[in-house]
Amino acid sequence: MTIKPNYFYILALVGFFGLFALLMLWNTVLAPSTRFPVALVLLVGVTPLLLPMRGLLARNTRSCAWAAYASLIYFTHGSVEAYVNSAERVYAGLEVALSLMLFFGASLYVRFVGKQA
């Protein structure tokens, strides 16, 4: 039985686009910040996710690895936000789950594509 890397790539894409959509909705519609401008929060919050996007969509293994590293930032943010802010705990839990999907999907995709080559 061989494991197909495409399954892990799809898992990474679901985590990536789910995390992107969650961050956009969370910071604009669901619970916008009252202390900082929304544009600044989006710029700081979404930019690290957008950096490896082109390579991730092109199935570049190096970009997939960097996307996995970038997802750890969102895992940390979601964990801290879930602990600190009980009003937004659902959004933070979803951020943690999606960042883990991105991390494991991209990491396992890089691992199994490397074994095939």
Distance (Å, rounded) from C-alpha 114 to C-alpha 64? 12
Distance (Å, rounded) from C-alpha 92 to C-alpha 78? 4
Average pLDDT across the chain, whole number: 92
Q: Are 71 and 99 in contact (CB under 8 A)?
A: yes
Distance of CA 101 to CAs 10, 51, 66, 69, 116, Å? Answer: 10, 18, 14, 12, 22
- Burial of 81-115, coded b for 16+ CB within 10 Å and e otherwise, reads bbeeeeebeebbebbbbbbbbbbbbbbbbbebbee
Which range marks the domain in which residue 75 is found? 5-116
Where is pLDDT greater, at 92 or 117? 92
Check whether 35 has a pLDDT greater than 80.
yes
- Position 3 scores a pLDDT of 78
Number of domains observed in the structure of the chain = 1
Average pLDDT over residues 9-15: 96
